[in-house]
């Protein structure tokens, strides 16, 4: 539900399919605005609109923002921003790969921008990463314009597959040490909500894990008011499938909220902060910008209100009883201000 309003003459670049969009108006500056809740909007100033366009599956835009650098927007929802995407992607990837004793084979559901693969490939034990994204045009767009991930896309350990993640997992005979859900949020009318269901976790994801394997997924907003949208029920749904389930969160400034992830396995998560730090030193190339052992340990220390909601959550995510985050996956609207 993003909107862009700007003055005449702003650089709007070219779309994914070579289409340009004329964004005209009468304001003295250009702004991106997203409705994150009813009666609540989040906006920030833009330097320019680098690219906009449509793919077979979704609308896409790359914005040069004043506060957050380059920002990727898909279907009117901010996906990641240059300045703080490391918080999201380190949080998604490293807790699971560090808790696994020897993560060699990884499957990414989604992850088209390449940042999740980038963080995984920093782990020395990793031998093979399958990144399965449904939208080839988005992947090619990100390969071309997100310079920070070009090395990951060219890494020989990365196998890029263009397919629906459910269909790909169903068809494969391989097993994985870690499966990562870097999917779009479950939005009403969007394509991804079926990949948050109990049946998908139970019959598709879990059977493809090696013994001791770990599944982790992004789980939507996890703020004091927003966590009941999908975070609490994704957590409760995974509890029906896996023996050990850990919800955790971090504040993402460009998202204007705290964000949540859920990690699940049939093996316990027992490493201390000190042991996690040691594994980071031994297994990860380079320094994390956000995560260390203490940060991982504290990330699962949720507030009293959120813990209470999670403890009392009874909703199980199914195709017939899906929950959605606020928004409808609508295209960017180019309005005069």
Rounded Cα distance, 319 and 235, in Å:
16
- Given the residues 133, 135, 182, 185, the one annotated as active site: 182
Please, what is the Cα angle at 170 between 262 and 230, to 5 degrees? 25
Residue identified by tokens 């939005």 is 187
What residues contact residue 55 under an 8 Å CB cut-off, 6+ apart? 16, 17, 135, 137, 138
Burial group, residue 135, by CB count within 10 angstroms (0-12, 13-18, 19+)? buried
> What are the start-end ranges of the H helices in the chain?
85-99, 115-120, 136-145, 150-153, 165-171, 198-200, 231-239, 273-283, 293-299, 304-312
Q: Is 266 a catalytic residue?
A: no
Burial group, residue 320, by CB count within 10 angstroms (0-12, 13-18, 19+)? exposed
- As annotated, the active-site residues are 182
């Amino acid at each position: 539900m993003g909107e862009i309003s700007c003055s005449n003459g702003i650089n709007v670049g070219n779309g994914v399919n070579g289409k340009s969009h004329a964004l005209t108006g009468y304001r003295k500056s250009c702004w991106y605005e997203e409705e994150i809740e009813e009666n609540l909007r989040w906006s920030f100033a833009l330097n320019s609109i680098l690219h906009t366009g449509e793919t077979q599956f979704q609308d896409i835009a790359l914005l040069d923002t004043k506060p957050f650098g380059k920002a990727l927007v898909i279907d009117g929802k901010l996906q990641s921003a240059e300045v703080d995407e490391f918080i999201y992607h380190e949080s998604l990837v490293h807790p699971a790969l560090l808790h696994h004793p020897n993560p060699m084979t990884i499957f990414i559901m989604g992850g088209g921008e390449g940042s999740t693969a980038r963080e995984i490939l920093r782990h020395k034990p990793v031998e093979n990463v399958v990144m399965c994204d449904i939208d080839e045009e988005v992947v090619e767009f990100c390969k071309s314009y997100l310079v920070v991930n070009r090395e990951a896309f060219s890494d020989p350990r990365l196998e890029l597959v263009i397919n629906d993640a459910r269909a790909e997992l169903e068809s494969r005979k391989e097993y994985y040490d870690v499966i990562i859900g870097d999917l779009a949020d479950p939005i009403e009318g969007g394509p991804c909500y079926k990949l948050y269901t109990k049946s998908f976790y139970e019959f598709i994801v879990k059977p493809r894990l090696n013994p001791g394997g770990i599944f982790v997924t992004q789980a939507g907003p996890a703020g004091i008011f927003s966590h009941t949208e999908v975070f609490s029920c994704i957590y409760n749904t995974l509890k029906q499938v896996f023996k050990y389930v850990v919800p955790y969160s971090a504040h993402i400034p460009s998202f204007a909220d705290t964000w949540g992830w859920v990690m699940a396995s049939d093996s316990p998560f027992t490493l201390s902060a000190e042991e996690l730090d040691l594994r980071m030193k031994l297994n990860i190339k380079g320094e994390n910008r956000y995560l260390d052992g203490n940060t991982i340990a504290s990330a699962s220390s949720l507030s009293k209100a959120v813990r209470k909601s999670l403890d009392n959550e009874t909703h199980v995510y199914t195709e017939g009883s899906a929950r959605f985050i606020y928004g409808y996956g609508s295209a960017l609207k180019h309005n005069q201000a």
